[in-house]
A and B are shown apart, each in its own frame.
Chain A
Amino acid sequence: EIVLTQSPTTMAASPGEKVTITCRASSSVSYMHWFQQKSGTSPKPWIYDTSKLASGVPDRFSGSGSGTSYSLTISSMEAEDAATYYCLQRSSYPLTFGSGTKLEIK
């Protein structure tokens, strides 16, 4: 089973600040996928195939990485970006999620 380790677990960012969330895999994966979840709602696809933004995702978001190290970056934090972000690998079964990064606005 591929274990995904996200960091940080929680963080707070000021409006306009650059944010980077990382996801490290215990074995190499082909792509990383990211989901956004706000309290009391279902997760939403956010970034797929490492760097492609899902429909409706603002272009201040970007994704990058390869092998065992991937990241989600927000170029300029906005209040609406406060949420929990999860990475997911689908390179091998069982599919696994990272433990999540809770991002708050300062």
Chain B
Amino acid sequence: EVQLQQSGAELGKPGTSVKLSCKVSGYNIRNTYMHWVNQRPGKGLEWIGRIDPANGNTIYAEKFKSKATLTADTSSNTAYMQLSQLKSDDTAIYFCAMDYSVNWFAYWGQGTLVTVSS
């Protein structure tokens, strides 16, 4: 069974960084893409970017190019997203999602709430 387990809630001060993790079990992440999506309070889904863990290649949505950094550790089967220069409007739930075969976003993590507050 494929499972994505995300790290716990984060409280970050403005101007600081946080690093979220997404550990995958039941599937080798070298064989797929890992995506990150956010959802601000009461709002819709927003694609941040994706990483190919096999080679580290990344693609970002323009607005997140200087905000998010995606990495992956194939030895631990874990994807990471670092959010930098936190601002109040970075407060959101952040989901990781994994492609599986031809099904993109086939599996999702439970989400990590990031709250930015001084």
Contact = CB atoms under 8 A, between A and B. Distances in A.
Contacts, number: 54
Interface stretch (B11-19, B43-51, B67-75, B77-85): B43-51
Contact of A45 (B62, B106, B109): B106
Interface residues of A, number: 22
A33 B105 CA distance: 10
Interface residues of B, number: 23
B110 interface: yes
Contacts of B49: 94
B44 A95 contact: no
B103 to A, nearest CB: 5
A94 B95 contact: no
Given A86-B45, A94-B47, A97-B45, A45 B59 contact: no
Interface of B: 35, 37, 44-47, 49-50, 59-62, 95, 97, 102-106, 108-111
